[in-house]
Structure 1
């Protein structure tokens, strides 16, 4: 559906699956395996795969913590977006990279659920994109000591509320890795 004209394509977005971000994240290995499954499928279907990498005082650029996990390997032809804020669109070239590829629909994976995933989903949605969250391909760390719910509840709640997101001309949605399609449904 997307409100972006002449943008029929879908892209797989992989957000911040970096050593320092996911080292103690909930269900880390399964989430990374699911992302790898989606990367393989996207590549086999000629769907753009876009990688996002965060840096800040806790993730200094070029540090070991800043590096993507070794289990995920970006092809040199796949764009890498460097960001400083939670929303992957904010002060980055993500929008222009997606426009060049005629992308109006995003399939979103990565970390952390309660920060960069949510920010990017909302950023995409307000910019006119359809944004599908892959419910078993995002994760977060345990922040209960700061008053947050457990990671399982943060993930479950995000999956639930994003499944019902819609606005004029665009929609959200949550699917499992097994149910991801990179071709929009006929009703789109």
Structure 2
């Protein structure tokens, strides 16, 4: 088994309390990456965001439903389960987390170090919440991160891209890929990616946001897309 790196799939759950941009495409890309990772013998770790059913462990201000329970990711509901198409297989690991970061109050760091993992392949949702928080903590803990941009998403494409730019600007241990380019790299074929090379390398003014996203997409080998 390849234990130099691990594939971390963040919160690809059945929660439907908010829309996710291009989610079918993200599911498809995660399925391709999971197949390739299993073929390569890479350990696979899923996270599930789960809130205590009675709301007893929620952070301040977390939305509640009319009964005073967590409005999303409530323990004991179908919504916390991994999407069926991406369901874990025997030997995969599943880590439940109570906060955005997969490292907060979990055994993820200990499990990775026990495996000898130094590099994480990261996908999942939401790019601007749990993915962002996890990548920042991974960087702080000394891991290198391969983030697969089009295997992540958020509620809007703008939010997704804003988070990608934050990470590309400041997470120096980060390498960004598209799914196609990462699969090329995994098979030893020519590929392209985007590495953080200097502080704030994608700095931009508000009116430059769309052009800066286009520059990042070009670096990843992705077709330019119209922004919301």
Q: TM-score range by the shorter chain?
A: 0.7 to 0.9
Q: How does 1:41-60 map to 2 (within 5 A)?
A: 41-56=36-51, 57=70, 58-60=72-74
Partner of 1:161: 166
Q: How does 1:137-152 map to 2 (within 5 A)?
A: 137-141=151-155, 151-152=156-157
Q: Is the contact made by 1:21 and 1:111 (CA closer than 8 Å) also made in structure 2?
A: no
Q: Is the contact made by 1:17 and 1:68 (CA closer than 8 Å) also made in structure 2?
A: yes
Q: Which moved more, 1:12-21 or 1:152-161?
A: 152-161
- Structure with higher RCO (Cα < 8 A, 6+ apart): 1
Partner of 2:79: 65
Cα distance between partner residues in 2 of 1:178 and 1:153: 22
Which structure is higher in strand share?
A: 1
Structure of greater Rg:
2
Q: Which moved more, 1:15-24 or 1:105-114?
A: 15-24
Q: Is the contact made by 1:47 and 1:182 (CA closer than 8 Å) also made in structure 2?
A: no
Q: Is the contact made by 1:89 and 1:120 (CA closer than 8 Å) also made in structure 2?
A: yes
Backbone CA RMSD of aligned residues: 2.2
**Unaligned stretches of 5+ in structure 1?**
1-7, 142-150, 184-188
Q: How does 1:87-106 map to 2 (within 5 A)?
A: 87-106=101-120
Q: How does 1:79-90 map to 2 (within 5 A)?
A: 79-90=93-104
SS of the residue 1:65 aligns to: helix
Normalising by structure 1, what TM-score? 0.81
Partner of 2:179: 177
22, 32, 37: which one aligns with 1:27: 22
Distance 1:22 1:135, change over 3 A: farther
Count of paired positions: 166
